[in-house]
Structure 1
Amino acid sequence: MLPLYDPNDWEAGMKLLEDLTTNAYKVQQQVLEEILTQNVHTEYLRSFLSGHSDKKPFKERVPVVYYEDVKPYIERIANGEPSEIISAQPITELLTSSGTSGGQPKLMPSTAEDLDRKTFFYNLLVPVMNKYVDGLDQGKGMYLLFIKPEIITPSGLMARPVLTSYYKSKNFRNRPLNRFNIYTSPDEAILCPDSKQSMYCQLLCGLVQRDQVLRVGAVFASAFLRAIKFLEDYWRELCSNIRTGRVSDWITEPSCKKAVSLIVSKPNSDLADLIEYECGSKSWEGIIKKLWPRTKYIEVIVTGSMAQYIPTLEFYSGGLPLVSTMYASSECYLGINLKPLSKPSDVSYTLLPNMAYFEFIPVEKNHEESEEIQCSSVSDENCTQETRKARMETVDLVDVKLGHYYELVVTTFTGLYRYRVGDILMVTGFHNNAPQFRFVHRRNVVLSIDTDKTNEEDLLNAVTQAQRLLEPLGFLLTEYTSYADTSSIPGHYVLYWELKMKGNNDLPELDQNKMEQCCSIMEDSLDFVYRRCRKKDKSIGPLEIRVVMPGTFDALMDFCVSQGSSVNQYKTPRCIKSEEAIKILDERVIGRFFSKKIPFWEPFRM
């Protein structure tokens, strides 16, 4: 299912994309046939299909599942049982999810062929960007990429984040040097196991090669902003290294230091003076364009929960476009943004039909499942046959409808069958016969006190409405998270905000009335059920905003990484449940504010 083509032949790449999207139905049927034919005799599929590999019995008998349903099979492989439990191809490693939205990281099976599929996917990004941005072959990309140390399972298989797997693979290290694969960071800096040394060295290399940088970025917007914060803390030392042509002594990882020293090999006082001048300015507004003047865009994921970083990115960017090129997960790589220069709010991804077999569970606009399904797993003894059948009534890729919401279900080449990824998507259009989707939010990332259910999108909308009150005062909301405080009766929503002034790093002077108004605006922006619970039922107390000192969310990230999250894949959790994480936030609170008025509510009318 992986067509061969020259990744440097951009016309061939675009033609391939056109063929895949035009023949989406045919490709999807071929994908399912290949997966079933290859894996029908695995223990997992045999228990449902009894050797049949047709689509009809697959849809009728194989259940749509959550991670908890397949976890026992994956853990058996991690503990040394053969791959044939779920995959006819050998499982070569286990990929860990970011583990920041639902607890501990999940383990996803992967095969050697899967690396080739990811490489194919990355290569298709090249012709798309070539179509919209000229001259990218005249320089380099400053991408801040990181790895995480592997965990060795009892079977000897590595368990590691998907990007760590890719960066450490021969596919990445032996990549063809086309315009997308020439980075300012040497591989040794990307592969440095010490994230602080890696960050420092990658920024140092990016500054030394500033005149060659045509694009900058990281995987997620949060990681890129963390790099800017790191630059704020270390620019003086970085300038000293550039001035002397010598890397700091605390950079001790041998291969990294050697590779970086070859780049920072000559003293450059003029460059050090220029960087000192820009970084020493009172305001860092537009700092990216000032430090890397040839940059054409910033490549970071700014969809979903990353959307809240857009104002801060725009402040630092100097007007550069924010580009989200791809949609991927630990389960499999999924889709490409075929209009990469579109506004972040308009970003849609076209799912590539040869990446996996895609199905979709229709959900209502409020993102609840259309069917009143009570069973949460295939092992639920209370599940009736009728209920199981209802749960399997999914929609195929080419049959989704414009404007409708769906939860993504994937069947992969690596041993996941009808697996609920947990992403809620909305159909925004079609490219040829392949639908395009806007990422809405992760399923079940919610705040709830009573009958209210606030999802990630609704929370972001409320925060966005409230922060507008502070923008005229020169405040930037750099990070936020939340939790449902049920320690008192009634319980209430708590929002943690980290604020900074646009022109400097001084602690903002918080106006009591303004902050209380922010609390009220948030409540007015939340949904009907929340406002009913606040006003009529009185089952929810006033919303609270706790402003935390600068650097608090860096400490939160450090904690999450210490618990197993990946630096490279880290996303600030929008809802916190860990008592230790809440303690980290509460220890750094510098102001607490509550809504002083009851939000508007009236009985629902048709």
Structure 2
Amino acid sequence: MSLDCDLTVLEELTSNAKQIQDDVLTKILKANANTEYLGRFLQGSADKELFKKNVPVVSYEDLKPYLDRVANGEPSDVISGEPITASGTSSGNQKIFPANNIFFKNIHIFYTLGYLVMSKHFDGYKQGKVIRFTFIHPTSTTPCGLPLAPTVTSFTKSEFFRSLPKNSPSPYQIMLCPDAKQSMYCQLLCGLVQRDEVVSVGAVFASVLVQVIHFLENYWKELASNIRCGHVSEWITDLSCRDTVTTILVEPNPELADLIENECRQESLQGIVSRLWPKAKCIDAIFTGSMAQYIPALEFYSNKLPLVSKSYASSEAFFGLNLEPLSKHVSYTFLPNMSYFEFIDVDGGTEGEIVDLVNVKLGHHYEPLVTNFSGLHRCRVGDVLQVTGFYNMAPQFRFVRRKNAALSALARATLVLESSDLVIMGFTCYADISTVPGHYVFYLELKSKFNNNNSTNVLSLDNKVLVECCCVMEESLNSFYRLFRSKNGSIGALEISVVQEGTFGSLMEFFVSRGASITQYKTPICINSAEALKVLEDKVLARFFSDKSPPYLILA
């Protein structure tokens, strides 16, 4: 798909969703019917009804033995009719997902359409620069030599990525730097030098963008110094980074250095994004699901620029685009050419019924199944989505995820903290069974809106406010929790442990050191690793507990 195309392509895709989905499934079955995996169920047939009748719904774990065999050197046709050329790894979990050129071509189409949607809604988007902090993960190989890296890394290194619009202030070589710290520094440096051209600031996930801003807090003096003298710091040793930054940092710019220093040394970093990049029209990242916890922080840092969740994607497939990026009610329009999509109805009249893309019902909640061009067939993704409407014939979904009590509790705590000068910068929780009775611990990293860059400043924590947070969080948990908490005391008082500033950056470094990709990193909602828990416990500043049991209401 050429970048010279327009959004009529989107109209054609969504208007012909049923036919395109039928064609996609036919193409997949013709290519894969004789693989060892599908052959067990189809005996070489490419009949779509036989596929729906005989091929089971599976999880990743069901397919893992086949994927491991290909990774260990057996032919791709164990599971895929198309040659598997790379393996995408799910961040932190080391799940291997097959990928091939058809998959990467679809990602290219997806990105192109997303670019066109953003151009439609934001004046000057095509003409300006888009900062999208991108980092690659070191590529390893499977035992048979297949490249093994997260999907974003594999795509970024591919020829398909290089044919996307050249509208980043950072040259391509900087994004390929294997050292995340050097890459982040140089991407920030390039973005600051070209600040007057930047129309959007973002990353894949909101959590990554928060970490970038923390990095800026620590390095703004050095960045300004580099701009003042026209030379990059000596610790930037990656030759590609040094050489390419030199093409951007062509001469000393003391006026820009003064401006950066004046903005970053102010009492508060509130609005720092819009102050450093005054023409930025939006913040672009994923803000749905567990990423919603970072909305208050990024609203604080951006002076409430529009927060745009423009796409819904995973290692299994790229699903849909947000066609109304300025709306606070985020819905994704599924693109029928990406993969073959089916949906398990999780709350409809016939619970568990599987329906096609165009047969989902408004308001219903579904779990998507993916059959793609790389070897996944009727594979559960694990998300829960709700149908919010239709764009032509293509359904639009709100990302719900499985109902998560921890996120509901966090939302209540955020409302309490709005009355103070504290912003939640990071969050996770842990079920502590070392106490009797056991209880839930919520780790919060809090930041004052003021007293920026004062290393001697001690975070002021109001006991009354934090205890109130504990109480309202307990009240937001379900009736079973409230019953066991208030009636028979089998659950102890909820605890908030406030950790030092920068703790969640350290937590990210911990997971990255164990294989997670910085670009695709998500702070776990619940901690189940003793080593990760130690990272948090070593940084605890203060602990607060609920001082009353939540009401347990029996509905008549």
TM-score > 0.5 by shorter chain: yes
From 150, 154, 179, the equivalent of 1:161 is 150
Q: CA offsets, 1:236-287, max 9 Å, x none?
A: 0011100000000000001111001111120011110111111111111111
From 257, 267, 272, the equivalent of 1:282 is 267
Given that residues 501 and 507 in structure 1 are in contact (C-alpha distance below 8 angstroms), is that contact kept between their aligned partners in structure 2?
no
Q: Give the unaligned 5+ runs of structure 1.
A: 372-390, 444-454
Please give the secondary structure, in 2, of the residue aligned with 1:472. coil
Compute the displacement of 1:176 (Å): 4.8
From 77, 82, 88, the equivalent of 2:75 is 82
Given that residues 500 and 507 in structure 1 are in contact (C-alpha distance below 8 angstroms), is that contact kept between their aligned partners in structure 2?
no
Are 1:432 and 2:428 an aligned pair?
no
Q: Which residue is equivalent to 2:3?
A: 7
Compute the displacement of 1:516 (Å): 1.5
Counterparts in 2 of 1:338-377, with a 5 A limit?
A: 338-343=323-328, 346-364=329-347
Q: CA offsets, 1:319-372, max 9 Å, x none?
A: 3211111111111111000101111xx10001101111111112239xxx985x
- Provide the C-alpha distance between the structure 2 equivalents of 1:581 and 1:6, rounded to a whole number of angstroms: 45
Given that residues 143 and 184 in structure 1 are in contact (C-alpha distance below 8 angstroms), is that contact kept between their aligned partners in structure 2?
no
Given that residues 119 and 126 in structure 2 are in contact (C-alpha distance below 8 angstroms), is that contact kept between their aligned partners in structure 1?
no
Given that residues 507 and 549 in structure 1 are in contact (C-alpha distance below 8 angstroms), is that contact kept between their aligned partners in structure 2?
no
Q: Which residue is equivalent to 1:524?
A: 475
The residue identity in structure 1 corresponding to 2:3 is: P
Please give the secondary structure, in 1, of the residue aligned with 2:527. coil
Counterparts in 2 of 1:39-78, with a 5 A limit?
A: 39-78=32-71
- Provide the C-alpha distance between the structure 1 equivalents of 2:13 and 2:406, rounded to a whole number of angstroms: 37
Are 1:569 and 2:520 an aligned pair?
yes
Please give the secondary structure, in 2, of the residue aligned with 1:137. coil
Counterparts in 2 of 1:163-182, with a 5 A limit?
A: 163-173=152-162, 175-177=163-165, 181-182=166-167
Q: Which residue is equivalent to 1:33?
A: 26
Q: Which residue is equivalent to 1:22?
A: 15
Q: Which residue is equivalent to 1:398?
A: 358
Give the TM-score of the pair, scaled to structure 1. 0.89
Are 1:323 and 2:316 an aligned pair?
no
Are 1:229 and 2:214 an aligned pair?
yes
Compute the displacement of 1:504 (Å): 2.6
Given that residues 108 and 164 in structure 2 are in contact (C-alpha distance below 8 angstroms), is that contact kept between their aligned partners in structure 1?
no
The residue identity in structure 1 corresponding to 2:265 is: G
Given that residues 218 and 224 in structure 1 are in contact (C-alpha distance below 8 angstroms), is that contact kept between their aligned partners in structure 2?
yes
Please give the secondary structure, in 1, of the residue aligned with 2:381. strand
Aligned length: 552
Given that residues 95 and 160 in structure 1 are in contact (C-alpha distance below 8 angstroms), is that contact kept between their aligned partners in structure 2?
yes
Q: Which residue is equivalent to 1:474?
A: 421
From 193, 196, 213, the equivalent of 1:211 is 196
Please give the secondary structure, in 1, of the residue aligned with 2:39. helix
Given that residues 298 and 304 in structure 2 are in contact (C-alpha distance below 8 angstroms), is that contact kept between their aligned partners in structure 1?
no
Q: Which residue is equivalent to 2:461?
A: 510
Q: Which residue is equivalent to 2:298?
A: 313
Identity, % of aligned positions: 54
Q: CA offsets, 1:503-557, max 9 Å, x none?
A: 1344422222221111110010112222122223433221111110111101100
Compute the displacement of 1:226 (Å): 0.8
* Structure 1 ranges of 4+ moved more than 6 A: none
User: Structure 1 pair 569/493, CA: closer, same or farther in 2 (3 Å)?
Assistant: same
Q: CA offsets, 1:288-308, max 9 Å, x none?
A: 111111111111111111111
- Provide the C-alpha distance between the structure 2 equivalents of 1:143 and 1:49, rounded to a whole number of angstroms: 44
Please give the secondary structure, in 1, of the residue aligned with 2:419. helix
Q: Which residue is equivalent to 1:134?
A: 123
Please give the secondary structure, in 1, of the residue aligned with 2:416. coil
Q: Which residue is equivalent to 1:267?
A: 252
Q: Which residue is equivalent to 2:171?
A: 186
Are 1:242 and 2:227 an aligned pair?
yes
- Provide the C-alpha distance between the structure 1 equivalents of 2:535 and 2:204, rounded to a whole number of angstroms: 26
From 110, 117, 121, the equivalent of 2:99 is 110
Please give the secondary structure, in 2, of the residue aligned with 1:576. coil
Q: Which residue is equivalent to 1:452?
A: none
From 490, 493, 498, the equivalent of 2:440 is 493
Q: Which residue is equivalent to 2:498?
A: 547
The residue identity in structure 1 corresponding to 2:545 is: F
The residue identity in structure 1 corresponding to 2:146 is: L
User: Structure 1 pair 487/176, CA: closer, same or farther in 2 (3 Å)?
Assistant: closer
Are 1:292 and 2:277 an aligned pair?
yes
Q: Which residue is equivalent to 2:485?
A: 534
- Provide the C-alpha distance between the structure 2 equivalents of 1:364 and 1:308, rounded to a whole number of angstroms: 26
Q: CA offsets, 1:183-208, max 9 Å, x none?
A: 10111111100000000000001111
The residue identity in structure 1 corresponding to 2:424 is: L
Compute the displacement of 1:598 (Å): 1.0
Compute the displacement of 1:604 (Å): 3.9
The residue identity in structure 1 corresponding to 2:94 is: P
Are 1:600 and 2:545 an aligned pair?
no
- Provide the C-alpha distance between the structure 2 equivalents of 1:361 and 1:493, rounded to a whole number of angstroms: 32
Given that residues 41 and 55 in structure 2 are in contact (C-alpha distance below 8 angstroms), is that contact kept between their aligned partners in structure 1?
yes
Compute the displacement of 1:489 (Å): 3.1
- Provide the C-alpha distance between the structure 2 equivalents of 1:408 and 1:492, rounded to a whole number of angstroms: 34
- Provide the C-alpha distance between the structure 2 equivalents of 1:486 and 1:55, rounded to a whole number of angstroms: 50
The residue identity in structure 2 corresponding to 1:535 is: S
The residue identity in structure 2 corresponding to 1:214 is: V
- Provide the C-alpha distance between the structure 1 equivalents of 2:505 and 2:305, rounded to a whole number of angstroms: 25
- Provide the C-alpha distance between the structure 2 equivalents of 1:485 and 1:364, rounded to a whole number of angstroms: 32
> Comparing 242-251 with 163-172, which one deviates more in the overlay?
163-172
Given that residues 493 and 546 in structure 2 are in contact (C-alpha distance below 8 angstroms), is that contact kept between their aligned partners in structure 1?
yes
Given that residues 133 and 209 in structure 2 are in contact (C-alpha distance below 8 angstroms), is that contact kept between their aligned partners in structure 1?
yes
* RMSD of equivalent CA atoms: 1.5
Give the TM-score of the pair, scaled to structure 2. 0.97
From 121, 124, 133, the equivalent of 2:113 is 124
Q: CA offsets, 1:348-407, max 9 Å, x none?
A: 001101111111112239xxx985xxxxxxxxxxxxxxxxxxx6x412111111111111
